[in-house]
Chain A
């Protein structure tokens, strides 16, 4: 509730301050709106040229000037979702350990370490992935997976192909590590908000730690946890540099998780420098930007909606 100002105080400083703050707030809104509108207008030639099929067309041929967003939307969604699948159990473990199991002296340093992980620049993750993880994975783990799991019925097709190291799976793996701290930090904060009396009551009834987690903490924080996951998803969708290093950058949809692919952000980053003003390619890249904006907006809006009760409190 806004605080009522004393009437007739006539303090010019207050008025200036109020308008400066209002201006700052409006500026952000205006910037956001301008970016959306600008992206849409700049991408319009692509939408006009290819129509709605632009969204699912898998063609991306700069020579013939035929462009479609299908492969990169697919890559964006698959890598982000897979990253969530990998990161959530890990983040859950981290958050649960921090709030319930860790000795008090360890909680702070461990929590800070998790938050520091979020501060590592994404280019570092990209280079670390490309020069350290990819060769190690391609040399030691991937051939074994391809030879053994790749031969299994039903799920085998997901793990076939040449052991490049890079590809959809590696991109998801690096993304999972990048979004882990965001999800873990949110989970830890909401787990901490569960009133101790609930947990103590459950323990008093003889529940095990796991039962308390499943029966009390998780139901109480369910929605906030989902909101935190969505925040991580939002970050994964737009991640550019790290993904570009390790995804293999091919405009193909492969059934294997080890196959190369691309994402909206990586494609835009790679192709932007060689796109001429007024070309259909540039329009298509900006249209891709618009699509990514819409995707991220939806994810963020959903997470805000789910987190709204916690945010109010």
Chain B
């Protein structure tokens, strides 16, 4: 395994000096698909920088949790944080790496990017199937100046279990008691209305193709594919656009001082906070079978905290606040020693 990975790495990066390849350590991880682009970018940049070869498979959070429970990988990755009890049962340490944000995307004739204003309760009622037309009085009343057609709303959701859905329904549950009661929160839920599509590209494709459709995707995906996003009202009552400043406002107003760093960043109170932001997590065994590999995992993410912010931002991810990084490093020291 080890030798093979190194050989693969050698084949891929012929420009590296030979000595560096021969000594490179290799670690494996598996799990969440949502942070996959940034993990791959980090892995690519870390190889020359700290001489660690990271093999990350984005197999989905659930599968990542399974693999780290069975200790078949060095680290697992999940979007939905494990509870304190689950962490203790599996003897895992959990820490965040980076944050991402979700945006609502729409396809309404005549409506351009960030023009439409929506609120959390309206989004929840759309996905509950209670608001069915774009010229519903509740939508029209907060969108003075826009002409909304009498068009059926077609909600699209992720049909495959995903961390994206987890974050989205966490938000809907936070703003709508009815959503919390009737549907709940999970990586896949029983959507009462709409149609499911596979992956971000499926949701984006459905929204692009169906007039009157609404969907949710990661902000990075919305930007690179030039999808029409909306403004959303945050907890403070302000309508905010999905942009860097509002994401950072949300991140800084989060409370990270909770078990497993399972901070809840949806619907935060800051006046400029974008309401749908979420961290993604790494799971590391507290009793690693191979201490050196475990140390290399920490070395990799330590490097990512130090030097990976720019790469993350290029991919529209949101770096952790410095105080959170310090707290994560402290948690490592407390668990594994310095």
Contacts and interface: CB of A to CB of B under 8 A. Distances in A.
Interface in B46-99: 59-63, 65-66, 69-70
A273 B60 contact: yes
Interface in B143-192: 152, 154, 159-162, 183-191
B122 interface: no
A162 interface: yes
A165 B202 CA distance: 13
B24 interface: no
B62 A273 contact: yes
A289 interface: no
B210 A273 contact: no
B195 A273 contact: no
Given A248-B196, A249-B195, A250-B196, A271 B160 contact: yes
A51 B147 CA distance: 53
A12 B3 CA distance: 41
Interface string B189-204: 1110011111000100
A138 B210 contact: yes
Contacts of A260: 194-196
Interface string A53-67: 000000111111000
A242 to B, nearest CB: 11
B209 A134 contact: yes
B62 A276 contact: yes
Given A135-B209, A270-B159, A276 B65 contact: yes
Contacts of B65: 276
Contacts of B189: 61-63
Nearest to B173: A63
B190 A61 contact: yes
Contacts of B264: none
Contacts of A62: 161, 186-190
Given A60-B190, A63-B189, A245-B202, A274 B195 contact: no
Contacts of B101: none
A297 interface: no
Identify whether the interface residues of B are mostly helix, strand, loop, or mixed. loop
Interface residues of A, number: 34
B152 A270 contact: no
A165 B209 contact: yes
A112 interface: no
Nearest to A244: B198
B206 interface: yes
A245 B162 CA distance: 16
B205 interface: yes
A209 interface: no
Contacts, number: 97
Contacts of B70: 277
A275 interface: yes
Given A130-B205, A134-B209, A63 B185 contact: yes
A162 to B, nearest CB: 5
Most A CB contacts (10 A, CB to CB) among B62, B162, B189 go to: B62
A72 interface: no
Given A63-B185, A130-B202, A274 B162 contact: yes
Contact of B62 (A59, A244, A274): A274
Nearest to B191: A250
A74 interface: no
Nearest to A167: B195
B275 to A, nearest CB: 21
A303 interface: no
A61 B188 CA distance: 8
A130 B198 CA distance: 11
Given A131-B205, A138-B210, A270 B184 contact: no
B66 A250 contact: no
In the A-B complex, list the 9 residue pairs whose CB atoms are closest, starting with the nearest. A274-B161, A273-B60, A249-B196, A249-B159, A63-B184, A274-B62, A248-B195, A270-B160, A61-B190
Interface of A: 59-64, 130-131, 134-135, 138, 162-167, 244-245, 248-251, 260, 262, 269-277
21 contacts: A60-B190, A61-B189, A63-B186, A63-B190, A130-B202, A134-B209, A163-B210, A166-B195, A167-B195, A248-B195, A249-B198, A250-B194, A260-B195, A262-B159, A270-B160, A271-B161, A274-B161, A274-B162, A274-B187, A274-B188, A277-B69
